[in-house]
Amino acid sequence: MFDEKAQLHTLEGVAAATILLLVIIYAIDATSMTPLTSSTSNVHVEAELRALGQDILNTMDYAEPGYNSNLKNDIITWDGNEYIWSGSDYLMKDNPAVNLSNNLSVTLSNTLIKQGIAHNVELTYLENSTLLPNNRNMIYNGDPSTSAVIVSRKIVLQDAEAPINPNNPIYGKDIDPSTGLFNIVEVKLIIWRT
């Protein structure tokens, strides 16, 4: 017995198998087959932390024309002490009876603390004679993890905006007395998941 439709059925089967194979290949290429390893998940977490940190600094550095930003005011009025999060407040490292109460501490406790994100705030400014950078911690909560991110914002201080507190380490660090420029302070926010 000879069936003339057998060749047509074979051709239809080959075409259907080819289409199914192409669909499977497309589906595999469209989805990621790699598991979320620590390195790929860390990249995602670090990107989120970087965006959050930069948003905090950008928001704090915003000011209406003619006014200082909250971040600049916090730098100008800083007392030069290092503060540590105690679980309820930022307390002075050398005198736990004194707490930090400024715009930065309120913003960090309302954003980072509530999400369980550890953080440090470091200020870098120039020495007036050598123009070498000098680092000081404003807030220190321990050594960052290996997945920590650093975001920063530069604040330009004019002579009229010089720190008003003589305990502020930036006080008296006029890098060029012949101009209106007082100093440039880089605010570094180091954040990491605990």
Per-residue confidence at 34, pLDDT binned at 50, 70, 90?
low
**Do residues 1 and 60 both lie within one domain?**
no
**pLDDT tens, residue by residue, 147-191:** 899 999 999 999 999 888 888 999 988 998 899 999 999 999 999
Whole-number pLDDT of residue 137: 95
Per-residue confidence at 43, pLDDT binned at 50, 70, 90?
confident
* For the ranges 34-38, 49-53, 126-130, the one whose mean pLDDT is highest: 49-53
Give how many domains the chain has, as a whole number. Answer: 2
CA separation for the pair 72, 75 (Å, rounded): 5
Mean pLDDT, rounded, for 6-22: 87
Domain that holds residue 17: 1-33
**Do residues 3 and 93 both lie within one domain?**
no
**Do residues 52 and 29 both lie within one domain?**
no
SS3 label, residue 150: strand
**Do residues 100 and 167 both lie within one domain?**
yes
| Pair 138, 121: CB distance under 8 Å | yes
**Do residues 25 and 111 both lie within one domain?**
no
**pLDDT tens, residue by residue, 3-13:** 677 777 888 88
**pLDDT tens, residue by residue, 85-142:** 998 899 999 999 999 999 999 999 999 999 999 999 999 999 877 888 999 999 999 9
Whole-number pLDDT of residue 2: 65
| Backbone φ, ψ for residue 173 (5° rounding) | -100, 50
CA separation for the pair 5, 97 (Å, rounded): 94
Per-residue confidence at 49, pLDDT binned at 50, 70, 90?
very high
| Pair 139, 121: CB distance under 8 Å | yes
SS3 label, residue 14: helix
